[in-house]
Amino acid sequence: MVVTLTSRAVTTAVLSAVVAVAASLGTLYLPAAAGLLVLLLAVGWSPLLRLPSRGGPALVVALTGLGAVGVAWVTGGEPILRHLPLVIAMGLVLAFVAEMLRGGGRLRLVESVSGTITGAVVAVACAAWVAAGRSEAGEALVVTSAVGLTVASGLSALRFAGGWAGSLVGVVLAGAAGAGAAAIVPEIEPLTGLVAGLVGGLVVAALRLLFERQPTLARRRAGLAAAAAPVAVGGILVFAVGRVVLG
């Protein structure tokens, strides 16, 4: 199955919408949505970066990401993400253990280790959606940010979105969508929604420019990981926006 830019953009938009719906349904559903993002990253990260091994990196990304989501869910008090450095440290250990267990002479050792660690860090970022949902005005913040991500993802599939100029237009429209969503949500101000939307648009645009020349994106698993990456990375940025703007 060949994955196109349009199908990746639609998948990203759907995943963003899933996060928004999960946040509106309650605290039990948001960790499940974050876990889904982690699993999509895990199954496609090795094909996306063309790593020499598949099983080891997939397991490291999955265990580290799901562990981070679980830790963010059960941690009480502030700061909610205070235990994530420990999770990342354990992910580093797992990456090296997986590399030591890999056979075949460990070809492309540095590339394999660095790619696995990068995937683990991106997966850990999914936990920030859970933390954002548990913060003050968390549900409204997550929904507003996810709306911006959805709009930016949908626009990225259009012809005009290619290149820097089109990407900037997508970022502006994503910010407008975030502000519009915040205008109908009483918990946050339109300015906060504007910032969250702009952040989401920037993430989508940056990763589109980063991934668009990757030949592996035509593969189904790699395409799924590329589609999940903007939503995953967006989680930590949305959490940061909430801390800076909402306090």
| pLDDT tens readout for residues 159-186 | 666 666 767 777 888 888 888 887 787 7
Which pLDDT does position 34 carry in this prediction?
Answer: 92
Q: What is the mean pLDDT of residues 127-146?
A: 80
Buried b (16+ CB within 10 A) or exposed e, 10-35: bbbbebbbbbbebbeeeeebbbebbb
In this prediction, what percent of the chain has a pLDDT beyond 90?
20
Residue 9 confidence (pLDDT) above 90: no
Give per-residue pLDDT as tens, 75-101. 877 778 888 899 999 999 999 888 888
Do 177 and 185 form a contact (C-beta atoms < 8 A)?
no
Kindly state the average pLDDT of the residues 47-74: 89
Closest CA to 209 of 170, 175, 235: 170
Please choose, from the candidates 10, 59, 57, the residue with its C-alpha nearest in 3D space to the C-alpha of residue 223. Answer: 10
- pTM for this predicted structure: 0.86
Average pLDDT over residues 43-58: 86
